[in-house]
Amino acid sequence: TEELLIKSEKLAVVGQLSAGIAHEIRNPLTSIKGFLSLLRSSIDKNNERYLEVMVSEMNRIECITNQFMAVAKPQATSIQLQDLKILIEQVSVVIIPEAIMNNIQIIIQAEADISLIPCEENQLKQVFINIIKNAIEAMPMGGEIIVQINKADDHHVNIRFIDQGCGIPQERIPYLGEPFYTLKEKGTGLGLMICYKIIKEHQGTILIESEIDKGTTVDITLPISYINHD
């Protein structure tokens, strides 16, 4: 359809742009960050908070360029069989400090005997981090994020992220995953685009359901083994 075409055209443009810009920005960025941290020891107390702001803004730029790079980089993929529960646990270790700061509890519910999944570990982790971050950002008053891992059928596993956040208006759901589509003041609108791209590469699907002020469920289905055409 027309909508899908626009989506993939935008993706291509983003890819070209990001390949060039993100890479060029990263080197000067690294050197500025290095010098900022050198300043830390010699700066006087009154100015310390300016330094804090600079460091946090630099981190933000770094985060955005990393997201661009993830889209642009033709990654050398190494597909290995992984235990999704372990991947989710490793991701939550990284993200729990942010969750705690926001009064949020992450609850993992995994069915026993879930099959291993062929995947690019770091890419799937990136997907999970993006989705959990969105859930955290949707719950400024705190709450629970439930991550369920279930068998979908004989050939698929299902990972569901359920939050109790602000929800997404129905009419906006079709636009999720378009580059730069964000409703946040400081958002990039790249997180879900990356998720869709990576899950598609894994021959999986993402389904988002949401209800305003009730919460959002992001439902990922992944194949237990890739279909090979022999």
Among 158, 164, 216, 221, binds ligand ADP (CB under 6 A): 216
Residue placing its CB nearer to Mg ion in the complex, 134 or 164: 134
What does each C-alpha distance from 174 to 72, 125, 126 come to in angstroms? Answer: 23, 24, 22
How far apart, in Å, are the Cα atoms of 208 and each of 89, 165, 176?
22, 14, 9
- Binding to ligand ADP in span 65-104, by CB under 6 A: none
159 binds, among ligand ADP, Mg ion, none (CB under 5 to 8 A by kind): none
Residue 229 CB, shortest distance to Mg ion, in Å, is 35
Residue 191 binds Mg ion (CB under 5 A): yes
The Cβ of residue 203 has, within 10 Å, a number of other Cβ atoms equal to 14
Kindly state the smallest distance separating residue 126's Cβ from Mg ion, in Å. 11
Question: Looking at the DSSP assignment, which residues form a beta bridge with residue 220?
Answer: 159, 206
Q: Applying CB under 6 A, does 164 fall inside the site for ligand ADP?
A: no
For 149, other C-beta atoms within 10 Å of its C-beta total 20
184 binds ligand ADP (CB under 6 A): yes
Answer yes or no whether residue 204 interacts with ligand ADP by CB under 6 A: no
- Is 158 near ligand ADP (CB under 6 A)? no
Indicate whether 126 belongs to the interface with Mg ion (CB under 5 A). no
> What 3-state class would DSSP assign to 152?
strand
Q: Is residue 181 within the footprint of ligand ADP (CB under 6 A)?
A: yes
CA-based radius of gyration for the chain: 19
Check binding of 164 to Mg ion (CB under 5 A): no
Sign of CA dihedral 177, 124, 168, 93: negative
> Which residues, listed in sequence order, are joined to residue 219 by a DSSP beta bridge?
160, 207
Residues that bind ligand ADP (CB under 6 A): 130, 134-135, 138, 163, 165-168, 176, 181-184, 187-193, 216
Residues that bind Mg ion (CB under 5 A): 134, 191
